[in-house]
Chains A and B, each alone.
Chain A
């Protein structure tokens, strides 16, 4: 059994794409939570799903179509947020349901890709193609590099936006970068854990890291490690026990989160 796993191309492709994505999600998630933008990944995931459906209808690389739609959508979200004529969450709810409605409408045009679309609803990392693996690695690497390259400015503006603005931090460009990176990550996550679980992938490991960290740097490191652990173990589990990978990954990250909460409570009660 095990030797079968190790020689399987599916398995290694999943591990490779998954681990790069894990680090990107882990880093990005911390900023999303602390900026109170976790709902953005939720809204974007529905839009990404509509993008996949459109790609399938047009019979053109669904991941690319989804990426384009999602990036445009993310800029639009940023505009809505700035105008503030609606509280941010309401605009995202409208976007999410609009995206879903578009996907359903597109499915009704050509029913025959319904099954394929289901893969994006529930995620199907073991079906990932080698082109998609490369795309995932390149994009996830880009997310990671951009976050690390702008680390200090992102931290400054997340912690204290107004002062950062006065100090000369290019706040609105960085806002754009963050939301576009979120869009990219969400599209990649869609392939791996599916629409229903993709926002969990960005939020849960970061939430776990926030329980324990003694500095911001530590939060980023822990969040990436937790995310990596959940994705790797989730893929191995699903392969070994024939469980759905997406559910295993999310269960594992929630398990890690609960363990950090429990560990923290234990530590404080022991101190008393």
Chain B
């Protein structure tokens, strides 16, 4: 089955470090929002980014995908400085409130995904047959086989979210960054969603960084935690996080952290 997200062993070996954030400082013409952030995401990591509202999680994600430029510090993608980086099809980004769609936009599920497959030169050169197959494949992957002709606006929030994941997967990315992907959907849908991410990470080695308030739902899938509050309070292995001072501080803040037993 041609379902590998990463094509060759060569590519696997080239660099193990997918994203590196080095001494990043950022402000939006005002107070510092991010201070001295150092973060490294390795291939096949599943990182959860947590922190209170307004702590700079969205800002950091936007810096990592080049939508914002830090005032100081550097970002590297696949070992390359972000300014020089060109292989954007390797990076999938799902923004916060991505499913707050314009309610009248007449676009089918197939069109959502296909249009993304022309985004870059590498993608445009693929044959049309490849695109059709790709759409079918990624829809199957997210459990929406046969939904090609449905209008986006007729889907539930959870289904729309899965279409956006399918779109993100279609370009065969190597890393996926998601910003609070499950706000506004019910608990069961959230759980299914994180199980899907877990599967993509586990079965295909997809590197994932997700900003989330549902720590309790992701913690069975992740291996890394980053805890942000202007500074990076904690960054490291998930198992050690629960013993750390940062974790207790978060609990003291009344952060919603339901732990799953496993």
User: Is there contact, CB below 8 Å, between A167 and B116?
Assistant: yes
Mask, B144-155, CB within 8 Å of A = 1, is: 000001010000
B91: chain A residues at CB < 8 Å are: 166
User: Is there contact, CB below 8 Å, between B107 and A155?
Assistant: yes
A155: chain B residues at CB < 8 Å are: 107, 111, 115
Which residue among A152, A165, A210, A219 has the maximum number of chain B CB atoms within 10 Å of its CB?
A: A152
Which residue among A153, A159, A169, A210 has the maximum number of chain B CB atoms within 10 Å of its CB?
A: A159
User: Is there contact, CB below 8 Å, between B93 and A214?
Assistant: no
Mask, B198-241, CB within 8 Å of A = 1, is: 00000000000000000000000000000000000000000000
Of chain A, the residue at the smallest CB distance from B151 is A214
A217: chain B residues at CB < 8 Å are: 111
Mask, A153-180, CB within 8 Å of B = 1, is: 1011001101111111100000000000
A156: chain B residues at CB < 8 Å are: 115-116, 118-119
The interface-forming segment of B18-26, B42-50, B97-105 is B97-105
Cβ 8 A contact of B111, one of A169, A210, A216: A216
Cβ 8 A contact of B93, one of A163, A210, A215, A216: A163
User: Is there contact, CB below 8 Å, between B119 and A162?
Assistant: no
Q: Let me know if A72 is at the binding interface, CB within 8 A.
A: no
Q: CA separation between A193 and B151, bound complex, in Å?
A: 35
Q: CA separation between A165 and B116, bound complex, in Å?
A: 11
Q: Let me know if B106 is at the binding interface, CB within 8 A.
A: yes
Within 8 A of B (CB), among A212-271: 213-219
User: Is there contact, CB below 8 Å, between B106 and A167?
Assistant: no
Of chain B, the residue at the smallest CB distance from A222 is B106
B102: chain A residues at CB < 8 Å are: 34
29 contacts between A and B (CB under 8 A): A152-B114, A152-B117, A153-B115, A153-B118, A156-B118, A159-B105, A159-B115, A162-B67, A162-B93, A163-B116, A164-B116, A165-B67, A167-B89, A167-B116, A167-B120, A167-B171, A168-B88, A168-B119, A169-B120, A214-B106, A214-B151, A215-B106, A215-B108, A215-B111, A215-B149, A215-B151, A216-B107, A216-B111, A218-B106
B108: chain A residues at CB < 8 Å are: 214-216
User: Is there contact, CB below 8 Å, between A166 and B88?
Assistant: yes
Q: CA separation between A164 and B91, bound complex, in Å?
A: 12
A to B contact number (C-beta, < 8 Å): 73
User: Given that A160-B98, A162-B67, A214-B151 are known contacts, is A167 also in contact with B115, CB under 8 Å in the complex?
Assistant: no
B77 to chain A, nearest CB (A): 11
User: Is there contact, CB below 8 Å, between B115 and A152?
Assistant: yes
B120: chain A residues at CB < 8 Å are: 167-169
Mask, B116-132, CB within 8 Å of A = 1, is: 11111000000000000
Cβ 8 A contact of B95, one of A163, A210, A216, A218: A163
Q: CA separation between A169 and B118, bound complex, in Å?
A: 8
Q: CA separation between A164 and B88, bound complex, in Å?
A: 10
Which 3 pairs of residues, A with B, have the shortest CB-CB distance?
A152-B118, A168-B88, A167-B119
Q: CA separation between A30 and B173, bound complex, in Å?
A: 31
Q: Let me know if B66 is at the binding interface, CB within 8 A.
A: yes
Of chain B, the residue at the smallest CB distance from A164 is B119
Within 8 A of B (CB), among A39-87: none
Q: Let me know if B94 is at the binding interface, CB within 8 A.
A: yes
Q: CA separation between A153 and B123, bound complex, in Å?
A: 11
Q: Let me know if B112 is at the binding interface, CB within 8 A.
A: yes
A16 to chain B, nearest CB (A): 31
A216: chain B residues at CB < 8 Å are: 106-108, 111
B64 to chain A, nearest CB (A): 10
Q: CA separation between A219 and B104, bound complex, in Å?
A: 12
